[in-house]
Amino acid sequence: MVEAGAFLEQLSQYAHEPALVYGMLALFFTASSFGLPIPEEVMIVSAGLLAYAGQTSDSPATAIQPVTTAMVCFVSVFLSDFLVYGIGRYGGQRLLKYGPFRKATETATFQKILDWNQKYGAWMAGLFRFTPGLRFPGHLACGSLGVPAWKFVATDGVAALLTVPTQVLLLAYYGDVILEQLKNVKIVLLAVGVTALLVFVFRRLLARKRLQSFSSFIGF
C-alpha cells in the first residue's frame, strides 16, 4: 500500500503542470457526465490533492492554484451537465434512438426518471447532481421533457456550486488533516474487522466445545 506521503510526492510532479492538469480535468469531467466509467468524485478528490501537493511543494508559485482548480472543476462539471441537457432538449427524439443515448432511454431506470421529472419538474436536475448513477440519464431526461434552460441552470448550477468547489478547496487547504483522518478511519475499520473475526472464531469454538460436552454426556 502506498503511504500518503509517497502518494502526495507523486502527485506533486503533475501539480506543476497546470495546463495539462486543467485540460485533463475538463476532459475527464465531460466523459464522466456522459456515463463513462470515470467516477466524478475520484476526479474531484484527485484535483484537490493535486492542489494540496502543489501548495506544499518547494515551488508553490508555479503549481496549480486551489481557487483556479476549484473553478475549473466547477465550470467543467456544470458545462458537461448542460451539454447533456442540451442534447436531450435540442437534439430531438431522433438522436435519442442512437448509440449510448438509445441504451439510456430503453432502461427501466430511465422510465422512472421520466416519471420523477414529470412529478417534481426542475428540482430533479439538482437531485441528479447528487446521484452518480443517474446523472447522465437524468440530465438527458430533463432536456427531452422540455425543462426550461434557466431552471436547469439554477438547480444544477447551485447543486454543483455547493459540492464541487468546496470539496476541492477543503482538500487543497486541509489535505494533511483529511488524510490523517482517513488513516485513522482505516485503523478503526481494521480494528473492528479484527474484533469481529475474533468474536466469530470464539463463538464457533465455544459452540463446538458445547457440542462435544453434550455428546460426551449422552454417551457418543
Residue 98 — pLDDT band, cuts 50, 70, 90?
Answer: low
What mean pLDDT do residues 136-161 have? 87
Q: Give the other-Cβ count within 10 Å of 208's Cβ.
A: 10
Residue 188 — pLDDT band, cuts 50, 70, 90?
Answer: very low
Location of C-alpha cell 436531450 = 88
Separation CA 157–CA 81 (nearest Å): 9
Segment among 48-62, 65-79, 189-203 with least mean pLDDT: 189-203
Q: Determine the pLDDT at residue 9.
A: 58
112 or 20: which leads in pLDDT: 20
The model's pTM: 0.71
Single-letter code of the amino acid located at 166? T
The most distant pair of C-alpha atoms in the chain lies apart, rounded to whole Å, by: 83
Residues in the chain, total: 220
Whether 2 shows a pLDDT value over 50: the answer reads no
Residue 118 — pLDDT band, cuts 50, 70, 90?
Answer: confident
Whether 140 shows a pLDDT value over 50: the answer reads yes
What mean pLDDT do residues 68-72 have? 95
With CA atoms as reference, report the closest residue to 64 among 48, 80, 43. Answer: 48
Whether 215 shows a pLDDT value over 90: the answer reads no
Give per-residue burial for 4-42: e unless 16+ CB within 10 Å, then b: beeebeebbebbbbbeebbeebbebbbebbbbeeeebee
What mean pLDDT do residues 123-140 have? 81
Q: Determine the pLDDT at residue 218.
A: 46
Q: Specify whether the CB–CB gap between 71 and 165 falls below 8 A.
A: yes
Residue 95 — pLDDT band, cuts 50, 70, 90?
Answer: low
Q: Determine the pLDDT at residue 206.
A: 62
16 or 192: which leads in pLDDT: 16
DSSP characters for 70-110?
HHHHHHHHHHHHHHHHHHHHHSHHHHTTSHHHHHHHTSHHH
Separation CA 42–CA 49 (nearest Å): 11
Q: Which range among 32-36, 106-110, 115-119, 153-157 has the greatest average pLDDT? A: 153-157
